[in-house]
């Protein structure tokens, strides 16, 4: 799961850069981290990247940290337009929790770097992982959530452009885009 986690962190940092360079404010949360409050500017950008540089995988058996964070977001009174979730493997219970986010956020997007795509597991294990991923993604998309599931050789910048109706070309990350 190491490389999957690294790619998820890189993707989150890219999104922080995108929002910062576009002039939009953003808030960064981790499943086990209090995060960085909503803001913009160079200092906010630095704090977000510092958090991402020090974040670690934390596993607690039988508990879903993502589902717990989603429940916390649902109870929040803060007005926010978009939620972008960047994760590694996405269990079905977390996908189900994310479907409830469409009630609170105008746009919800999930970027997934599933661990089975980054591992040297047996073909059977990878196939089972892909089957679970397809089920989770189907649940999300049927709820109106935009989804991406990327492997080790797939570029986020290219996939992000297609996620919002663009062509499968490299988007220009430095220009001001519409908020998502």
Tell me the pLDDT tens digit for each residue of 44-83: 999 999 999 998 877 665 668 888 888 888 887 776 788 9
Q: What does the pLDDT read at residue 49?
A: 95
Tell me the pLDDT tens digit for each residue of 109-125: 999 999 999 988 888 88
Whether this model's pTM surpasses 0.75: yes
Q: What does the pLDDT read at residue 137?
A: 94
Comparing 165 with 67, the larger pLDDT belongs to 67
The string of DSSP codes covering the chain is -HHHHHHHHHHHHHHHHHHHHHT--EEE--SSS--EEEE-SHHHHHHHHHHHHH------TT--HHHHHHHHHHH-----SEEEEEESS--HHHHHHHHGGGGT-SEEEEEE--GGGTS---HHHHHHHHHHHHHHHHHHHHTT-EEEE--TT--HHHHHHHHTT--SS---TTS-----
136 pLDDT above the threshold of 90: yes
Q: What does the pLDDT read at residue 79?
A: 63
165 pLDDT above the threshold of 70: no
């Amino acid at each position: 799961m190491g490389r999957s986690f690294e790619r998820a962190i890189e993707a989150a940092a890219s999104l922080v850069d995108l929002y910062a360079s576009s002039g939009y404010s953003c808030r960064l949360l981790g499943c086990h981290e209090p995060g960085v409050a909503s803001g913009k500017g160079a200092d906010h950008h630095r704090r977000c990247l510092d958090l991402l540089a020090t974040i670690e995988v934390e596993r607690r058996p039988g508990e879903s940290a993502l589902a717990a964070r989603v429940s916390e977001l649902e109870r929040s009174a803060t007005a926010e337009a978009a939620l972008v979730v960047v994760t590694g493997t996405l269990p079905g219970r977390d996908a189900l929790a994310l479907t409830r986010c469409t009630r609170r956020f105008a746009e919800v997007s999930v970027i997934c770097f599933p661990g089975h795509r980054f591992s040297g597991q047996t073909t059977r294990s990878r196939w089972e992982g892909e089957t679970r991923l397809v089920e989770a993604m189907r649940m999300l998309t049927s709820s109106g959530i935009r989804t991406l599931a990327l492997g080790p050789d797939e570029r986020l910048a290219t996939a992000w452009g297609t996620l919002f109706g663009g062509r499968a070309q490299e988007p220009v990350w430095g220009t001001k885009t519409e908020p998502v």
